[in-house]
Structure 1
Amino acid sequence: MPDSRSKRVLYLDDDQGLVRLVQKSLLRLGYEVVSAGSWAAAQAALAEGGIDVIALDHDLGSETGLDIIAQLGDLPKHPPVVYVTGSSELSVAVAALKAGASDFVPKTVSEDFMALLNSAFRRAIEKERLRERKEQAEAEVRAARDRAELLLQEVNHRIANSLAMAASFVNLQAGSLVDGAAKAALEETKNRIHAISLVHRQLYTKGDFRFVALNDYLANLIEQMTASARSGDEGIAIHHDLARVELPIDASVNLGVIVAEWISNALKYAYPSGQGRIDVTLALLDDGRARLTVADRGVGREGDAARQGTGFGTRIVSVMADSMAGSIDYQPGHPGTIAALTFPLRVTYPAQDTEGRQETP
């Protein structure tokens, strides 16, 4: 709704005759003029509030308008300033604009002076109104962004907690079983759930909801799996050397599940004695790709012998790798086995993603 009240002008000039003339002329144009002959008087008028624009004369006797502009700058907020100066003092007007004045008007005795003042006032008031609206809009955008980030943080928190609870249920169920194969299958399921839940836990603790720091995420996952292995009285140590890499959420989940699968396999099959070491490495390659390896020094595979187990985990790893345009390679470790995934750091999402997201760490 437009503001229909009269605009209030604070006119700073020590020439009281000119001030009275300006007051009468501006009154006819719909302005209310408050006069001040010094900075002290201007401060009192500004403290009362309701001033829409300041008309500031350059020559104020003991001080100049430039001095007043500098003191206005110390205030938290002040109305826009229209600088009034002699027609031959263009350099002064330029200095005033640089100091923060919104506009300037050459002081003359012609009838054009009031018209120029009126025009400058209108421009300054409108510019200030647009600036305030812009600041308000930006504040609303920041508030909406903060609310959205808080909501997203809460969503990730709840997802992480729900997945942790699901993993606990799976663990309890495994504890009630006597069949070894069933218990192993549930343990693998628990590790997959943990791999996904850790991504959401990192998202709400780190505050960046776009990317996941793989070195931190995979290190946490490995620590959890190490603790789980030790709780089962296994003397298998898991070491890691992880480059600093960031990937979007989907790709990070895929990598976490792959690491969980490969570590689980090494824990189950590589060391029948229950003693050994597993090394997890994430390295950056020169061609814009990264290479993830999980290596053990255990019994290894003989020739082309099929891997033990149901093969379900292998299928999961294959699907995850394909979604990242990655390639899987199993090699003998002399001794042991090396499972490797090479994938591009630029992750392109499937074509059905309508936003066409493409992220580069």
Structure 2
Amino acid sequence: MTRPTDLLPEGLEDRLPASAARITTAMRACLDVLHRHGYERVRPPLLEFERSLASRMQGIRTQAMFRFVDPASLRTLALRSDITPQVGRIAATSMKAAPRPLRLAYCGETALIRASQLDPARERLQLGAELVGADTIAAASEIAMVAIEALQAAGLTGISVDFTLPDLVDTLAERDGDTDPDQIEAIRRELDTKDAGGLRDAGGEAYLPLLYAAGPFDRALADLRAFDAGGALGTRLDGLEAIAARIAAVHGDAVRLTLDPTERYGFEYQTWFGFTLYAEGLRGAAGRGGTYRIGGSEEAATGFSLYVDHLAEAAPEAERGRAIYLPLGHDVEAAARLRAEGWRTLAQLGEGEDAAALGCTHVLEGAGVKELEQDR
């Protein structure tokens, strides 16, 4: 019977053994990919001064974070909701003198005061990579392709990448000489909701073609080039085409490429390039990435983030491995040898235990292993 005191807050949940094993397996697979590509892992603290977190990335809202006063310093602390700003701080301070480009990886828990309707979880395991000191096609391509490889290593299939241009409206407004910030924000809002009527009412009729320049990458890119008669987007569109070509050269039709140039959800601090990752069997996005500037140093960087506990929902079930039951008085040296060979062992603690019910497939007899008879 569940007591009221046993209930968890909304958006938080226990991960039982099968789910926890699936998350751990996916996490290790992703981190192995980052390690093989030269990304070195850092571990920022769970808490930081609120002001520090807010200053490292444009668009970071500390109101979405749990905050409280540090009794030691009497300054406001914040429980991180995103690890990327912390990696930016590390790159700009402790590793300021490290050779560039700097490749860093991370994995850790994050928390939100409120979750979105699209993703009700308030605690997430964030894993990612940041490539600091490069704002090039090569850097953006590497990050996107490493992110795809990480998802594949975690066992996800049917992967698709949706490109976007986070600063698109700003670029077009600058081209057209629009300086009214309220109108520009209204145009962004109507583009976000894909509302043609609202876009006209906001004075953004010239932006209407952007609502339809979305879908399969090649067609959407052609529509964007036709819209960009003055060439203000030329460099950005050439960059997207080059990145897509590199992904297609490696993955062919195995990875689907799409383009939605006005998508801004989840791109609070990205600059000219952004992408969202999707996978078969997964509700919502598997992860996001793009280019940005580190606040304070203004150094260019490119990165991606995956939420492992979410993407693990579509990952294959983790293998439990072979398990051997160790009876009372068993040969401890034989048991140690079996563990070194990769077996799992469960030692008997008392009379009346059921080895099969405990998940064992074998039993140690002397120095040998015997398979348990399973109920048919």
TM-score bracket, normalised by the shorter chain, equals under 0.3
Q: Determine which structure has greater relative contact order: mean sequence separation of CA pairs < 8 Å that are 6+ residues apart, divided by chain length.
A: 2
Structure-1-length-normalised TM-score: 0.22
Task: Find the structure with the greater CA-based Rg.
Answer: 1
Structure-2-length-normalised TM-score: 0.21
